[in-house]
Amino acid sequence: MNVEVIEKGYSGFPGRWIGGIALMIAPLLHFIGVLLRLPFHFFFPEQLAAFKDHQGLIAASYSTFAAGNVLMWPAILTLVKLINAKRPGWALWGGVFAIFGLFARTFHAGVDHLAFQLVRSQGLELAAKAVADSYGAFHIFSTLNLAILLGWIVLAIGAFRSGTFGFIRAIALGLMAALPLGVLKGTTSFSVAAAAGLCIALVPLGIQVLGSGPAPSLRAALIWGFLVAAGGSVFYYLGQQG
């Protein structure tokens, strides 16, 4: 991919730095989250039982995956802008479906969190019963389940047809369609393949996007580092106040 095409991917919102960093970090967070719950059975009763016995590990797994999911939107926007340079139709629908899919997975993460808190406050048996009794209940985000799957396939085709990715990396990106969806889903071989494929597809692109422009000065890096750390601390503190 030439420099001119890469520049189109980071010009404007979300920018080269946010887009490039997201392309590198978000897939790795997904992969770490998937691996951390690998030792435990896939279905929700066993996931809840795993939380009871290994609260820190399971909380880290689900939180890391959720963080990767939220950080994925600038990565997708950057990829969409690169695809749009040659295949705007594929870019449009791939981006729309993939980002709608992120919303749905974020909703699932909220349900996961509540279920784990029920284990902590009500006990494993009552928490498992509450989840079982409400499993499959309608919610508006269930209409986006197909978008979770289609988004990655459409993006992969668009990335290949636009020349943004070669065949191997396009296939790797499309593997994300195999990642199980829904509430309290553990890790399967499909999960590992999907998360690894996402890393293969996006992390090198993030490095390429970040490396396609000038590096910041030491002064600018220190200022931005301080602002991000201070802002993050304020956001964290206020968030804990309810």
Read out DSSP for 55-112?
A: HHHHHHHHHHHHHHHHHHHHHHHHHHHHHHTT-HHHHHHHHHHHHHHHHHHHHHHHHH
Q: Which comes out higher in pLDDT, residue 58 or 136?
A: 58
Which of 108-117, 183-192, 225-234 has the lowest average pLDDT?
225-234
Question: What does the mean pLDDT of the chain come to?
Answer: 92
Chain centre to alpha carbon of residue 83: 19
Q: Which residues does 159 contact at the CB level (< 8 Å), separation at least 6?
A: 79, 82, 83, 165, 169, 170, 173, 201
pLDDT band for position 7 (cuts 50, 70, 90): low
Query: Of 55, 37, 42, 182, whose CA–CA distance to 112 is shortest?
Result: 182
State residue 61's pLDDT score. Answer: 97
Q: Which comes out higher in pLDDT, residue 9 or 98?
A: 98
| Residues 126-134, mean pLDDT to the nearest whole number | 93
- Summarised one tens digit per residue, pLDDT across range 37-75 is 999 999 999 999 999 999 999 999 999 999 999 999 999
pLDDT band for position 10 (cuts 50, 70, 90): low
Q: How far apart are CA 81 and CA 157, in angstroms?
A: 14
What tokens appear for 206 in the block? 């993030």
State residue 225's pLDDT score. Answer: 87
CB–CB of 95/147 below 8 Å? Answer: no
Binning the chain into helix, strand and coil, the percentages to the nearest 5 are 80, 0, 20
State residue 240's pLDDT score. Answer: 84
Whether 1 shows a pLDDT value over 70: the answer reads no
DSSP state of 140: G
pLDDT band for position 235 (cuts 50, 70, 90): confident
